[in-house]
A and B are shown apart, each in its own frame.
Chain A
Amino acid sequence: MSSDQPLLSEPDLVPPVIHHRHRKSGSRTSFFEVAADSSTTDHHREVVLAKDCSFHSAFCNNNNNSGISSSSLTEAQNPDSEFRLECPTRERGLLRSWGAMELHEISTASAVTTAPSRRIHHKSVQFDEQILHDDNARLIYINDPKKTNDKYEFTGNEIRTSRYTFITFLPKNLFIQFHRVAYLYFLAIAALNQLPPLAVFGRTVSLFPLLFVLCVTAIKDGYEDWRRHRSDNNENNRESLVLQSSDFRSKVWKKIQAGEVVKIFADETIPADMVLLGTSDPSGLAYIQTMNLDGESNLKTRYAKQETTSAVSSEVCDIAGIIRCEQPNRNIYEFTANMEFNGIKFSLSQSNIVLRGCQLKNTDWIIGVVVYAGQETKAMLNSAASPSKRSRLEGYMNRETLWLSIFLFIMCLVVALGMCLWLVRHKNQLDTLPYYRKRYINKGPEYGKKYKYYGIPMEAFFSFLSSVIVFQIMIPISLYITMELVRLGQSYFMIEDMHMYDASSGSRFQCRSLNINEDLGQIRYVFSDKTGTLTENKMEFRRASVHGDNYGSSLLAADDSSAATDVILKRRWKLKSEISVDPKLMSVLHKNPNRDERVVAHEFFLTLAACNTVIPILTDGEFSGCGTSESTGYVECIDYQGESPDEQALVSAASAYGYTLFERTSGHIVIDINGEKLRLDVLGLHEFDSVRKRMSVVIRFPDNAVKVLVKGADTSMFSILANGSESHNSLLHATQSHLTEYSSQGLRTLVVASRSLSDAELEEWQSRYGEASTALTDRASKLRQAAALIECNLNLLGATGIEDKLQEGVPEAIESLRQAGIKVWVLTGDKQETAISIGLSCKLLSADMQQIVINGTSEEECGNLLGDAIAKYGVRSSSRGHQNLNNKTNADHGNIDISNSSKSMSLPKWNPGKEEGTTTPLALIIDGNSLVYILEKELESELFDLATSCKVVLCCRVAPLQKAGIVDLIKSRTDDMTLAIGDGANDVSMIQMADVGVGICGQEGRQAVMASDFAMGQFRFLKRLLLVHGHWNYHRVGYLVLYNFYRNAVFVLMLFWYILCTAFSTTSALTDWSSVFYSVLYTSVPTIFVGILDKDLSHKTLLQYPKLYSTGYRQEAYNMQLFWITMIDTVWQSLVLFYAPLFTYKDSSIDIWSMGSLWTIAVVILVNAHLAMDINRWLLITHYAVWGSIITTYGCMVILDSIPVFPNFWTIYHLAKSPTYWITILLIIVVALLPRFTCKVVWQIFWPSDIQIAREAELMRRRHDRLQSRHQGSS
């Protein structure tokens, strides 16, 4: 059959690569899409093409308005000569491809973004090493590890994920730990304290905090590393069969080297990245599961080259050859190499390699040669952690910490200056003052020498430094540790939340990032993907347009339809899923009223069944999963494993109509047509790509007719249909109107077409195809050229409509988010009509909305459209002012509404339109093409103005990087927090760009989840995540930060006032241990518990009144004003703390230790009482923590005061006997907290916040309920 293929000499050989994965399961948009690709559609998923090449460069000469696709390299080299691009998008020379795994660099790269147009440049990543320059290639001599490794020193297969060894642990761990600023601060303070003139604390005492944190961290790190060691060891000592002197012998993994030939059996794990040489399947097919690599559970096919299969299968294991492959890189979806084997040179691609960590399934054995081992495997290269984000609140916190540092500096300066002045004043007395004595006074060697006196300037300087030591906790270093613990606790509760558990997929909520819990409470913009996020991504074949006739409006379940049942009865296999069929279409197929129509229908379904990359998997029918038909007895069950749900749906549909895809190998497919098996040879397959937006398969029928079957997006298909007769045109129009109808119903559409190939055409194509598929460079564009040869003049067969169902609870969730004042933007790759219809069905859009549609095809057009819209709807152009106004009106509405609601105790009716200040709510619908122009140019700000004044923004046909661009548009122009939610690899860039990225564990693999900060099963959980957990977390952390500032500052200020009374000599009345324990032990535990457990409102209330969420983005729990109020309060409290005992014990014989003891207790009780006053919800644990802290403090004081060697011996016993002590403490607490309490009350009476009102309402409701129940009980 392939005799006319010049490259392949053996007659039985099929073209090297037939159907294999389109990189990611059903990725709608490829990773390799380039920034400029403006017309990505959702249809990518539907068409999966053979991707023999690695998308090396884009070639657009056949697609007039598609963007530039995929990667990079040649384009980068000669940008203008080769490409005639109509879209004046990015600088052509800057086109880059970016693999999925490189995405994480975006976040860092975009940080340096300066201008919008530059952004893309930075974001994209180039793989120069991908080019297989001969000098850069990696040479692997098959079965000759010595020769392979002699030259290049490839790493062995031993992996090491552990960081330390036993010896390096201590130094290395310390080194890593001291990378943290906090620890350096501790260290600096401790070091200062070791200097003799500065020794404020005892030397050991001052080391205690540092040692404590170091030990805790070291133990944690050590334990983790020990576990890593253990798993490494397990991994390294696993065994595989390796070809050694013509025999397969078992060898431990860590000894495997590049170049060795390894044999793997079913269900074993692959030890290294290997090129397949042969498999148990005669056609060289192998199935692998890549769960460990990308989390996708479906099976993927890999192929051994026909050339090698035969050599390997012949038992004799004298294999020799050279593989020339690219240098190790982390792109798991790409592999470029060629192989010389038995004198034949041929190319290898991603489908010929199996990666470490995958499992072999459904294949008895495979033999492969190791090309990358150990740390160089793609799995290991990909194990880098995702970048960490910093929460907004933490940023503010750092700003306030700066303020605190300034306070600290001022305080130390005051002490130093005071010291200086005091010394100047007492200059002459220093030798005689009994309490100073600057010289040694007694006879001896040191007589007359100065004792710890270095002159006034130095003394002042030292007193500055020692006051830094005394006041060190002014900088709340422990707060960072506390916050980590609190976030850990919060994450625990989020993970454990039953309401965020997705029963259908069995997935819990996941917190992948521990740093941004509180950001969830401040989200202003939600950017949502559509497919798989709003919708279920479970495709169902709904409608079909065959030969201009519309079918599928009345669907019946397969089993009920009489027309269908007799077909089904004939079949010996059964689908795993039930598909409903349209009897009308069924009858067209079988009871041919019109021959022409029947042929078209026949070919239509043939295309659906053949033109895909779905793999049928047969199982015995005895299993309960599908054994429903007892009548037929033996039934085989077919499960379609495919990467794209669309394809699965289409194949299943075809099967329901009697065209069952039965078997697929690299060279042929078997389709069962109503019981007859039809074997079709597959001559070639052009995989789906984002430029062509279609896939095609070349098939030779048993009667030697060759046909090309194509399916693809309507936009890309109509241009390559044959221009024909009148009837043809009417057919075209009919189909087009059907398509419009389908997409207005929210269906995803595809156009199906076919054509017979003449021998000449076939021959030309085959030569081009063969050449292209073995090309080392530029393969993608060559393949595209080959495809262009045959993908023309097609005969339209029909169109399909696939339904993507909305996920459960999506409209409600969106409605709630909207009420909460969060703007939901939908960014989708779908068509405009589809996007709008989905928008309507998920209540994003409503009928009364004024829709502004912007879909220009040129820059001016877009500009005009934007300008018109802005003029028409009176959008204010100053974005800043508008934003403020917006916020303000929002706030006002919120207050009014909620107070009304709580008073009337009824559910508030929000008028969403009111929010925007315009009479009719606006909806902006913009498509990807326009975005290309707009984001590129100065129109950006106009878009921003328009978009922010619209209630809804829908972006359709956007490419992944455009999604990120839109997020960046908002991020860079407002201070509002953004959240991006998506499920597919195409959302990765957006997820990483947004302040908070949420991944949906859906059908499309785990790329989004891997890149996200939080992951969950369903879109509707977003409501709970934001409204409940976000709200709680934000309020908790906001309070936690303020409280910690207060807690430390009140203590430091108290010390400061005292130092003013000690001739500025930095004496602390408190014992060293009390000073150290204060922030570590006495007061830290309650804050952690409150930070984790406190909640202002119950989740019911929060969900019922989404408006309460607005407190988050209005920054009500933490802002500058609150900080300053807290600080003023702190000063007052510290003054009370200091002066109340001072006046009480004025003119008394109180000693310094008793005073210190009193202050210690007083400050601990005070801060705990302060906390107690602010706790919203008292749990038993909170009681334990708060009161327990006070008791612990007493306990510690008793212990410390029972050690005779301390000067403070027995102090507490003396004090506790005197009533003055207790009365003073009571006085301190009440007087210190009185202003705060009064302010709180006054504030609440006159300016109640929404939250307080809601709390009261909640309480009243509860009381009401209780009363009612009691009433019922009594009656």
Chain B
Amino acid sequence: MATNTAGSNDPTLNRRQTKRPKYSKFTQQELPACKPILTPQAVISAFLIVTVVFIPIGVASLIASRDVVEIVDRYEAECVPSNWTDKVAYIQSGADKTCKRELHVEKRMKAPIYVYYQLDNFYQNHRRYVKSRNDEQLRDAGKGNSTSGCDPETNINGVPIVPCGLIAWSMFNDTYSFSRNKNNVTVNKKGISWKSDRDHKFGSDVFPKNFQNGAIKGGASLNETIPLSQQEDLIVWMRTAALPTFRKLYGKIEVDLEKGDVINVVLKNNYNTYSFSGKKKLVLSTTSWLGGKNDFLGIAYLSVGGLSFFLSMAFTIVYFVKP
């Protein structure tokens, strides 16, 4: 019992000391903190800040977008001779697919002028399509036989295709050549793809093999002597588009086009979009710091800026009326 009473003093004291929660601002939830609160001033200034930031950006992007000159020519209908009623039959036939178009330059276009082709109703983002590729095969010469994921375009009679998969197989193969006043306008097809893709994704020692040898030709053929890293059309095509309407870079024209110029385009209408009634367009466009011609950003920024200005005003009034 002696130990009991003796023990009851000291140990309890110790125990208390250890058991008592230690004071710290953290454990007591008293850390210094900022408590934002929606005071009238804060609200109004928030809206004003948005206004101040958004309206200049909106104006700038609208100006940038307006500066861009864009020529769009839809040709998939006109480029089928009128005597062919069945367009699919025409495109699959061996007939001459050459088609001549004229483009009028409405406004001066400064180099570089980007040449795009635009496809419509082409679901490059379809799950079957997006997955139908094999990145290892494209990158590594030693992995030529790895065709997993490429179905149904993997091999022909057991011999693997390089590059395999639906994406490569269905590569776009219309070609365009431009002339102005009978002078050829050269289209630079170098550097149209991402440098990172050329350097790391598509091997410089990987050559096309057994490509487009199947029963049905899906699209462009590839020169088997040129490594994939230099097949820029393929590289561009293999960056599958996000949306069913998309543009892909065809090349760059590195001379200025003057106002009133007439550009003659000789194109080979090879690609079959008729089977899925897809449109084909040729696009010549200059570029700004914001990219191509698109007023959306400018309008959106201006309207948001305007709206928040209106709101800030409204709240100012409300606060004056109802303090």
Pick the interface stretch among A511-519, A773-781, A1144-1152. Answer: A1144-1152
Let me know if A444 and B28 touch, CB within 8 A: no
Which chain A residues border B249 with CB–CB below 8 Å? 1149
**Does A944 touch B at the CB level, under 8 Å?**
no
Q: Verify if A434 is at the interface (C-beta below 8 Å from B).
A: yes
Q: Choose one: A496, A623, A1069; the contact of B2 (CB below 8 Å).
A: A623
Q: Which of A442, A623, A1210 contacts B215 (CB 8 A)?
A: A442
A506 touching B61 in the complex, CB below 8 Å, given contacts A1095-B29, A1207-B133: no
Given A1227-B301, A1255-B37, the answer on whether A1238 and B311 have CB atoms closer than 8 Å is yes
Which residue of A is nearest B218, CB measured?
A: A434
Instruction: State the CA gap A1213–B197 with chains docked (Å).
Output: 12
Complex partner residue of A1231 from B155, B243, B300, CB under 8 angstroms: B300
Q: Is B84 an interface residue (CB 8 A)?
A: no
Interface residues of A in 1231-1275 (CB under 8 A from B): 1231, 1234, 1237-1238, 1240-1241, 1244-1245, 1255-1256, 1258-1259
Distance in Å: Cβ of A575 to nearest Cβ of chain B: 13
* Residues of chain A with a CB closer than 8 A to B244's CB: 1061-1063
Q: Is the CB of A1152 within 8 A of B6?
A: no
Q: How far is the CA of A1147 from the CA of B118 in the complex (A)?
A: 8
Q: Is A248 an interface residue (CB 8 A)?
A: no
When A508-B21, A623-B6, A1213-B196 are in contact, do A434 and B166 touch as well, CB less than 8 Å?
Answer: yes
The answer to whether B33 touches A1219 (Cβ under 8 A) is: no
The answer to whether A1154 touches B242 (Cβ under 8 A) is: yes
Question: Contacting B35 at CB < 8 Å: which of A443, A1156, A1255?
Answer: A1255
Contacts of A1180 in B (CB 8 A): 31
From B251-259, B260-268, B291-299, the one touching the partner chain is B291-299
Q: Tell whether, in the assembled complex, residue B297 and residue A1147 are in contact, meaning their CB atoms are under 8 Å apart.
A: no
Asked whether A623 and B127 contact (CB < 8 A) given A451-B152, A1146-B296, A1176-B35, the answer is no
Which chain A positions have C-beta within 8 A of B194? 1210, 1214
Check A1177 for interface membership: any CB of B closer than 8 A: yes
Q: Which of B219, B241, B289, B293 contacts A434 (CB 8 A)?
A: B219
Q: Check if A161 is an interface residue, CB within 8 A of chain B.
A: no
Partner of A435, one of B43, B118, B124: B124
Knowing A1146-B296, A1151-B240, A1255-B37 touch, does A429 contact B156 (C-beta < 8 A)? no
Contact B1 A619 (CB under 8 A): yes
- Is A1143 a contact of B296 with CB atoms below 8 Å? yes
Beta-carbon contact of B245 and A1220 below 8 Å: no
Q: Which residues of B contact A495 (CB under 8 A)?
A: 21
**Contact call B124/A1152, Cβ cutoff below 8 A:** yes
Contacts of B46 in A (CB 8 A): 1237
B90 at the interface (CB under 8 A from A): no
Q: How far is the CB of A1055 from chain B (nearest CB, A)?
A: 13
Q: Which of B28, B215, B296, B307 has the most CB of A within 10 A?
A: B296
Give Cα A246 to B37, complex, Å.
Answer: 82
List, in ascending order, chain A residues with CB within 8 A of B241's CB. 1149-1152
On chain B, the residues within 8 Å of A734 by CB distance are none
Does B183 interact with chain A (Cβ within 8 Å)?
no
Within 8 A of A (CB), among B278-323: 289-294, 296-297, 300-301, 304, 307-308, 311, 315, 318-319, 322
0/1 interface trace, chain A 456-493, chain B, CB 8 Å (1 if under) = 00000000000000000000000000000000000011
Residues on B with beta carbons closer than 8 Å to the beta carbon of A847: none
- Please report the C-alpha to C-alpha distance between residue A1245 and residue B39 in the assembled complex, in whole angstroms: 10
* CB-based contact A496/B151 at 8 Å: no
Residues on B with C-beta less than 8 A from A444 are: 155-158
Interface residues of B in 1-57 (CB under 8 A from A): 1-2, 4-6, 8-9, 12, 15-16, 19-23, 27-29, 31-39, 43, 46, 50, 54, 57
Between B31, B33, B301, the greatest number of chain A beta carbons within 10 A of the residue's beta carbon is seen for B33
**Which of A2-10, A497-505, A871-879 binds B?**
A497-505
User: A639 contacts which of B5, B43, B123 (Cβ < 8 Å)?
Assistant: B5
Q: State the CA gap A1241–B46 with chains docked (Å).
A: 11
Indicate if the CB atoms of A1230 and B242 lie closer than 8 Å.
no
Q: List 8 A-B pairs, minimum CB-CB distance, nearest first.
A: A1210-B196, A434-B170, A1155-B242, A496-B27, A435-B129, A1065-B127, A451-B152, A442-B214
Would you give the shortest CB distance from B61 to chain A, in whole angstroms?
7
Chain B residues whose C-beta falls within 8 Å of the C-beta of A442 in the assembled complex: 152-157, 161, 214-215
A437 at the interface (CB under 8 A from B): yes
B93 close to chain A: CB less than 8 A: no
| Minimum distance in angstroms from A422 CB to a CB of chain B | 10
State in angstroms the CA–CA spacing of A624 and B19 once bound together. Answer: 24
Tell me how far the C-beta of B154 lies from the nearest C-beta in chain A, rounded to whole angstroms. Answer: 8
- Judge whether A407 is part of the interface by a CB distance below 8 angstroms: no
Judge whether A503 and B16 touch: CB under 8 Å: yes
Tell me whether B126 and A1067 are in contact (CB under 8 A).
yes
Contacts of B75 in A (CB 8 A): none
What is the 8 Å Cβ interface bit string for chain A, positions 597-631, against chain B (1 contact, 0 not)?
00000000000000000000111100111100000
Bound Cα distance A59, B116 (Å) = 101
Contact (Cβ within 8 A) A498 B20: yes
Highest count of chain A CB atoms <10 Å: which of B32, B153, B239 = B239
Q: Does A215 contact B (CB under 8 A)?
A: no
Q: Check if A1062 sits within 8 Å of B21, measured CB to CB.
A: no
A178 interface contact, C-beta 8 A = no
A724 within 8 A of B: no
The smallest C-beta distance from A1069 to any residue of chain B, in angstroms, reads 6
Distance, CA A1095 to CA B20, complexed state (A) = 24
- Give the shortest distance, in Å, between A408 (CB) and chain B (any CB): 19
Q: Is B95 an interface residue (CB 8 A)?
A: no
* B275/A432 in contact, CB under 8 A: yes
Residues of A411-458 at the interface with B, using a CB-CB cut-off of 8 Å, are 426, 429, 432-437, 439-447, 451-452
- What are 20 residue pairs bridging A and B, where the CB atoms are less than 8 Å apart in the complex? A362-B1, A433-B276, A435-B128, A443-B214, A444-B157, A452-B128, A625-B9, A626-B5, A639-B5, A1067-B125, A1143-B300, A1149-B246, A1150-B243, A1151-B240, A1209-B196, A1220-B297, A1227-B297, A1231-B300, A1237-B46, A1240-B38
Whether A1207 and B300, one on each chain, are in contact in the complex, defined by CB atoms closer than 8 angstroms, is no
Known: A436-B126, A1151-B240. A1219 touches B214 (CB 8 A): no
A1140 within 8 A of B: yes
Instruction: Decide yes or no whether A1218 CB sits under 8 A from chain B.
Output: yes
A1093 at interface, CB cutoff 8 A? yes
Task: Give min CB distance, A1024 to chain B, whole Å.
Answer: 12
Interface residue B200 (Cβ < 8 Å from any Cβ of A) = yes
Interface membership of A175, Cβ < 8 A: no
Residue among B21, B276, B315, B319 facing the most chain A CB atoms (10 A cut-off)? B21
Which positions 625-657 of chain A face chain B at CB distance < 8 Å?
625-626, 637, 639
Q: Looking at the complex, which one of A434, A639, A1148 makes contact with B294 (CB distance below 8 Å)? A: A1148
